[in-house]
């Protein structure tokens, strides 16, 4: 009896040790990840400001930062993994929609369709994403280090009220500007007849993507409003399961 109790205690201790190692590994990784992402978006901010100051125009700005943007935005896919393995308390679906829509904007719209790269709407979403991400990743970093300045917390849970709709406007205007080029070039489209016997029209796909903002964006926005009430006003929020 006594020995089984002792065994239980040893097992519990081992489990606790494993959990502690796992959680300190996760914290170390998240701290590194968030510092790297804050730095990445800061580099983008500085590059954009320098470009605008030296050239006096936004034309050519996208091309000048494209590599860095593609790298850091694509790297954010790791965040879906963080949610999936449970090291951050965020929904895989909410994060997945957010990250995939950004990656889609970068790779399948802005990067693939050169004629739209100088649109003002591209600069709008780039500026908005950059402000959001510098705030968001520095919030996570300081939070993990238990030294969170109030203004960063305030900025994380207030700026999105304006930045989120502005970012969506920039994205939608960019996709809209891309439509004529996509229709004319037939890019990423497959017309019948072909050996696969499949037809796909990227033009209509983009229209569907634009329409999907109508149901999806309010859900992301209200999710952030709930997070805001929880963090800034201490409200206990019971979220529905994914």
Contact code string over 127-146 relative to ligand LEDWP2DD, x by CB under 6 A: -xx--x---x---x--xx--
203 touching ligand LEDWP2DD, by CB under 6 A: no
Q: Is 116 left (phi over 0), alpha (psi -120 to 50) or beta?
A: alpha
Is 171 an active-site residue?
Answer: yes
| Rounded Cα distance, 130 and 48, in Å | 10
Binding to ligand LEDWP2DD, residues 100-129 (CB under 6 A): 100-101, 104, 128-129
**Measured distance CA(79)–CA(99) in Å, rounded:** 8
- Burial (CB count <10 Å: 0-12, 13-18, 19+), residue 222: exposed
Which of 17-25, 43-51, 82-90, 196-204 is the region at the interface with ligand LEDWP2DD (rule: CB under 6 A)? 82-90
Q: Which of 62, 171, 202, 203 is catalytic?
A: 171
Half-sphere exposure of 236 (CA within 13 A, CB side): 0
Catalytic residue status for 137: no
Helix (H) / strand (E) element for 19: namely: helix 2-55
Task: Choose the stretch contacting ligand LEDWP2DD; rule: CB under 6 A; options: 4-12, 114-122, 161-169, 199-207.
Answer: 161-169
Query: How far is Cα 140 from Cα 95, in angstroms, rounded to an integer?
Result: 15
For 143, 191, 194, 208, the CA distances from 226, given in Å and listed in that order, are: 19, 45, 49, 28
Kindly state the smallest distance separating residue 28's Cβ from ligand LEDWP2DD, in Å: 12
Residues noted as catalytic = 164, 171
List interacting residues with ligand LEDWP2DD (CB under 6 A): 30, 34, 79, 88-90, 94-95, 97-98, 100-101, 104, 128-129, 132, 136, 140, 143-144, 160, 163-164, 167-168, 171, 209, 212-213, 216-217, 220, 223-224, 227
């Amino acid at each position: 009896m006594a020995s089984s109790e002792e065994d239980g205690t040893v097992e519990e201790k081992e489990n606790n040790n494993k959990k502690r190692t796992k959680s300190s590994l996760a914290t170390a990784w998240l701290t590194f990840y968030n510092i790297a992402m804050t730095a990445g978006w800061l580099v983008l901010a500085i590059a954009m400001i320098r470009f605008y100051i030296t050239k006096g125009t936004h034309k050519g700005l996208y091309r000048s930062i494209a590599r860095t943007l593609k790298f850091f935005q694509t790297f954010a896919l790791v965040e879906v993994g963080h949610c999936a393995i449970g090291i951050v308390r965020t929904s895989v679906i909410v994060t997945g929609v957010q990250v995939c829509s950004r990656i889609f904007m970068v790779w399948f719209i802005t990067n693939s369709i050169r004629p739209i790269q100088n649109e003002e709407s591209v600069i709008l979403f780039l500026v908005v994403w950059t402000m959001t991400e510098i705030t968001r990743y520095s919030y996570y970093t300081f939070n993990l280090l238990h030294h969170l300045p109030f203004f960063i917390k305030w900025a994380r849970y207030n700026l999105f009220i304006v930045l989120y709709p502005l970012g969506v406007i920039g994205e939608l205007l960019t996709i809209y500007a891309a439509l004529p080029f996509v229709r004319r070039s037939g890019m990423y489209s497959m017309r019948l007849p072909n050996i696969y016997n499949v037809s796909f029209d990227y033009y209509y796909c983009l229209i569907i993507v634009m329409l999907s903002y109508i149901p999806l964006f309010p859900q992301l926005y209200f999710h952030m409003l709930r997070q805001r009430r929880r963090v800034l006003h201490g409200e206990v929020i019971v979220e529905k399961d994914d």
